[in-house]
Amino acid sequence: MGALPEVEWLLVVGLPLLLALAITAVVLRRRSIAKGCPVALAAISKDGTRWRLGLVRLGPSTLAWFPVVALTTRPRLQWERAHLELTTPADELISIPGLSQAVQVEVSDAVHTEPCPIAVERGVYMAMRSWLESAPPGADVNVA
């Protein structure tokens, strides 16, 4: 009968503490990924069939994609802004849980990678397009 209070203690104190730690870890990871840059939900499809939900960060020099469920704060995919190519969205909407009325675009870095399908909400696409077009032309531009 002495073990019952220990189990109750674990349920009453341990579970809420574990839940609070998990929520804190998610919030800190999200803040670490953002690093003061705009972040939005996006999904990628490397095999053309399955979509993986993640976060896309519009950094000063790169577009980076991070999986939603991961422990690392390093991007899984990254494209250089100076060489980034972004296609126009497809006409059809894609149904992805977590993304309402998502559109598919192709993202590629003309120097390093082949095109990658990415699904974002139309407003996020417009932000990505604006971010891309506001970059200085070329890779190493010096403005005097």
Structure tokens at 112: 């390093």
pLDDT of residue 98: 86
pLDDT over 80 at 48, yes or no = no
CB 87 within 8 A of CB 106: yes
138 pLDDT band (50/70/90 cuts)? low
pLDDT at 34: 86
Query: The whole model's pTM is what?
Result: 0.80
CATH topology of domain 36-133: PH-domain like (2.30.29)
Highest-pLDDT range among 7-21, 56-70, 97-111: 56-70
* pLDDT of amino acid 4: 66
Token pair, residue 131, equals 């971010």
Widest pairwise Cα distance in the chain: 79
**What's the gap between Cα 111 and its chain centre?**
22
Nearest to 56 by CA among 34, 39, 78, 74: 39
- For residues 7-15, give the mean pLDDT: 82
- The mean pLDDT of 12-23, rounded to a whole number, is 88
Of residues 42 and 144, more confidence is placed in 42
Q: Tell me, what's the pLDDT at 38? A: 93
Q: What is the spatial distance between Cα 101 and Cα 119, in angstroms, rounded to a whole number? A: 10
Number of H helices, E strands in the chain: 3, 8
